Homo-oligomer: A and B are copies of this chain.
Amino acid sequence: MTNTVNNGGDIYDRRESEARSYCRGFPTTFTAARGSELTDESGRRYIDFLAGCSSLNYGHNDPDMKAALIEHIAGDGLAHGLDLHTDAKAAFLRAFETHILKPRGMDHRLMFTGPTGTNAIEAAMKLARKSTGRSNIVAFTNGFHGVSMGALAATGNGYHRGGAGTDLGGGITRLPFDGYMDGFDSADLLEQMLTDNSSGLDAPAAIMLETVQGEGGLNAASPEWVARIARLAREHGALLIIDDIQAGCGRTGGFFSFEGMGFTPDIITMAKSVSGFGLPLALVLVRPEHDVMGPAEHNGTFRGNNHAFVTARIAIEKFWADDSFQRSVEARAKVVEDGLQKLAAMIPGARLKGRGMMRGVDVGSGQLAGDICGQAFENGLIIETSGPEDEVVKILAPLTTPDTVLRKGIDILLDAARTTIDGNQIAAE
C-alpha cells in the first residue's frame, strides 16, 4: 500500500458521517472487483466472503451482465425512467415471469419500490395494512427489516431501534422466532394468542418473517415451523410476508428461501441480489388480490432502475433458466458446511448456524468473532459477523465462488481462528 491519503485518506474523517461502518473493519480503499475477489489501491487482492451482505450473489462484475450494461449505456439506453415503460423493464418482467413465477405457479405481481430493501418492506407493510384494513403486524425476535421508521418498528435490534431517537410507535407485536428458547415452540404461543380474544394481540394485518434471519445471527427456522406460521396466518386472515431480501436469490439454494416448504407467501420482499450486479433494485411480489396501491400511492423517484433491469434480466436468464445453478449452490454449501464444522470444532460451545450458503458459527462472543474476522482480513479474506452481540462469524460468499477460491477462503478463516485462539490462550497464560 503506497498511500491511503492520496486516494481518500482523511477525506473520510473530515467529510464522511460517523455512521460509516464496514470501512472501519476493512481499512483500505478498494479499486476493483471481479468474481469473488476485491483489489485495493495497493494492488492487494482479497477473497470476498461478505459479498455486499448477499447483494453480490453472482459475484462482482459478472462478465455477461457487464457486457450487457455497457452496451445499454453506450447505446443511450435509459438510466432513469421513473416508472415509465422501457424496453429494459419489459425484458426483465418477461424473464422474471418466464423463469421465476411461471415455473413455481405464482400469480404474483411485481411492485417496484424505491430500490432498497427497507423501501420494499415499507411497501409490503402498507399493502398488508391497506388490503386487510388492520394495523398490527407480527414480527419476530432478532428480525431485521430495515431502518426507515416503518421497517425499524419491525426490527428487533436494540442498537438500530435506538437510532430512531424516539419511540417506534405501535403496530407491531413481537413474538419469539423459531428456536428462541429451548423446549418451547413459539408457534404454539402465536396460535394461543391469535385464538385468545383477551391476549392483547390485535388481529394482525400480516405476519412477517425471514426464513433465515441474516442480521439476527443466521437463525434458520425449520420448514415445519414456517409452514405452520403460514397456516396460522391464513386461518386468522393475516397476510404472510416473507422478507427474502437477504435469503432469496439463491442464497439458500432456490430462488426463494421458502421453496419446498409447502406454501406461497402473499407478499415477498426482494432487494440485494435481485439486480445481480450489486445495483440498487428492490421489488415486492404481491398476489393480485392484495395489489391495492393506487397509481403512485406508494412512489419514489428511483423505483425502476433501468441499469439494474438490464443486469437483473441477465441474472435471471443465466442462472435460473434451469436448475444447474441451484445444484451447484447446494454443492458449494456442503463445502462451506464442512469448513464451518471444523471452525466450530475448535471452539468449545460453538454452534453451526444458518442454511445453504448463508452459514456461520456462533463462537460465543462478539469479541472473539471480531478478532477472527480481523485476523482473516490481515490474511486477505473479507468476512463479517452477525447476531445480536456480533457473535456469529458468517460466510456470505458469492454463490458463484469457484471451489478453489472457496476452499482457500475457508483455509484462511480456519487459520485466522487458530491464530486468534492460540493468541488468546497465550494471553490468558
Contacts and interface: CB of A to CB of B under 8 A. Distances in A.
B159 A297 contact: yes
Given A141-B196, A156-B198, A170-B170, 4 more contacts: A18-B293, A21-B83, A131-B165, A161-B200
A300 B87 contact: no
Contacts of A140: 200
Interface in A171-213: 171-174, 176, 180-181, 183-184, 188-189, 192-193, 196-203, 205
A388 interface: yes
A97 to B, nearest CB: 5
B117 A116 contact: no
Given A192-B181, A198-B156, A280 B294 contact: no
Total copies of this chain within the assembly? 4
Interface residues of A, number: 160
Interface string A243-254: 001000000000
Contacts of A109: 14-18
A424 interface: no
Given A85-B27, A300-B147, A291 B55 contact: no
25 contacts: A1-B87, A7-B90, A14-B109, A19-B299, A23-B84, A24-B295, A30-B81, A32-B77, A33-B76, A53-B82, A79-B278, A115-B115, A122-B147, A126-B147, A130-B164, A142-B196, A142-B200, A149-B150, A150-B150, A156-B199, A157-B200, A176-B192, A183-B183, A198-B388, A307-B307
B200 A292 contact: no
A241 to B, nearest CB: 13
A123 to B, nearest CB: 8
Nearest to A144: B198
Contacts of A21: 82-83, 295-296, 299
A345 interface: no
A142 B199 contact: yes
B118 A114 contact: yes
A293 B167 contact: no
A308 B279 CA distance: 10
Given A116-B301, A167-B170, A60 B76 contact: yes
A13 to B, nearest CB: 10
A277 interface: yes
Interface stretch (A67-75, A222-230, A354-362): A67-75
B301 A19 contact: no
A168 interface: yes
A139 B163 CA distance: 21
Nearest to A114: B116
B119 A17 contact: no
